[in-house]
Structure 1
Amino acid sequence: MVEPPADLNFHIEFSSADYGLRAWVTGVNGTLETTLAYWRMIAEEVRRVQPRGMLVVDDMEGDPPPPEQLLVFVQAMQGQGMEAVRIAYVERHAAQIPLVEYAGLLANEHGFNARIFADEDSAVRWLRYGER
C-alpha cells in the first residue's frame, strides 16, 4: 500500500495482473489537490513498472473535482508517462460516472487512451481485448 502526503486522506494498493497494473484507491476525495496527488502516485508507479495497461479502481468517498477543474487536472498529468499506457478507470459510485466520463473525454482529447467503466469486469475485458 502506498501512502499519500500526510495532509491527504487516501491510500493506493498496487497489484500486478495479466493486463498490466491495478491500483485500488480508497479514502476521501473532493479536491483537485487530492486527485492530482493520487494520480501522480499512479503515474510514478507506471513509470517504474511500465505496464501495458492500467486499471484504476476508485473506491473513494467524496466527489471528484468540479468540472471547471478537470481540464487543469488533465493538463497537469500530461508528460507524466500516462500517455504510454491504456487506462481503464472504474468509478464505484454510479452518481459520479457522468463527471468522471467528462474527465475521460478531456483526457482522450489531450493524448491519453482512457475509458471509464462502472464495473471492474468490463474494464478488465477492455484492457485485455479492446481495440488498441
Structure 2
Amino acid sequence: MDMMEEPQSLWIDAARHPLGLRVHVRGKETFDNTMAYWGAITRYLRLTGARNLILLDELAGDALTESEWLDLVLKMAGMGLEQVRIAHVKPNGRSEIEYCELYARNAGYDARVFTSEQDAERWLCGA
C-alpha cells in the first residue's frame, strides 16, 4: 500500500512591494492557518520595516466565525500590527471578514478589506 502525504494546508509567499510588503496566502481556511499566517506576517514586517501591507488572502473553506475573528484580533495585540496600514484582499468575496475589519479597527489597527488588489493599492497610495 502506498503512503500518500496529506497535502500542505497553508502556503505563504511574501515579497517587497513598491507600497510596502505583499503577502499571498493560499490553502485551507482554518483558525490555526489564519493565526499562522498572521504570525509569519509580523515576522516579515519586522524584517523589512514595511509600514504598508497588502495581504492577498485566497484561503478556501468555511469562513472564520465572528468569535474566531475577535479572538484572532485580541491574540495579535502588541505584535506590531498597530503601526502598519493593512489592506486585506479577499478576491473570492468578503464573507465574514467584515468582522475582522471592525474588530481590528476597534483595536487601533488601520485596516480595510477589499475584493480587488487594485482597490487595496489605491487605498494604500492615499496614505
Aligned-partner residue type, residue 56 of structure 1: L
Identify the residue that residue 40 of structure 2 maps to in structure 1.
Answer: 41
Once the two structures are TM-superposed, the CA of residue 33 in structure 1 deviates from its matched residue by 1.4
Question: Is 1:107 matched with 2:68?
Answer: no
Q: How many residues align?
A: 122
Identify the residue that residue 54 of structure 1 maps to in structure 2.
Answer: 53
Contact 1:88 1:116 in 2 (8 A): yes
Question: CA separation of 1:55/1:111 partners in 2, compared to 1, >3 Å: closer, same or farther?
Answer: same
Contact 2:70 2:99 in 1 (8 A): no
Identify the residue that residue 72 of structure 2 maps to in structure 1.
Answer: 73
Identify the residue that residue 83 of structure 1 maps to in structure 2.
Answer: 82
Give the ranges of 4+ consecutive aligned residues of structure 1 lying more than 6 Å apart after TM superposition: none
Once the two structures are TM-superposed, the CA of residue 47 in structure 1 deviates from its matched residue by 1.3
Partners in 1 of 2:67 and 2:8 — Cα distance? 22
Partners in 2 of 1:25 and 1:13 — Cα distance? 6
Partners in 2 of 1:63 and 1:43 — Cα distance? 24
Once the two structures are TM-superposed, the CA of residue 48 in structure 1 deviates from its matched residue by 1.3
Aligned-partner residue type, residue 28 of structure 1: K
TM-score by length of 1: 0.86
Once the two structures are TM-superposed, the CA of residue 63 in structure 1 deviates from its matched residue by 2.6
Identity %, equivalent residues: 34
TM-score by length of 2: 0.89
Once the two structures are TM-superposed, the CA of residue 49 in structure 1 deviates from its matched residue by 0.8
Is the deviation greater in 63-72 or in 14-23?
63-72
Aligned-partner residue type, residue 112 of structure 1: Y
Identify the residue that residue 19 of structure 1 maps to in structure 2.
Answer: 19
Contact 1:88 1:117 in 2 (8 A): yes
Question: CA separation of 1:62/1:125 partners in 2, compared to 1, >3 Å: closer, same or farther?
Answer: same
Identify the residue that residue 28 of structure 1 maps to in structure 2.
Answer: 28
The two structures, once aligned, show a CA RMSD in angstroms of: 1.7
Determine helix, strand or coil for the equivalent of 1:115. strand
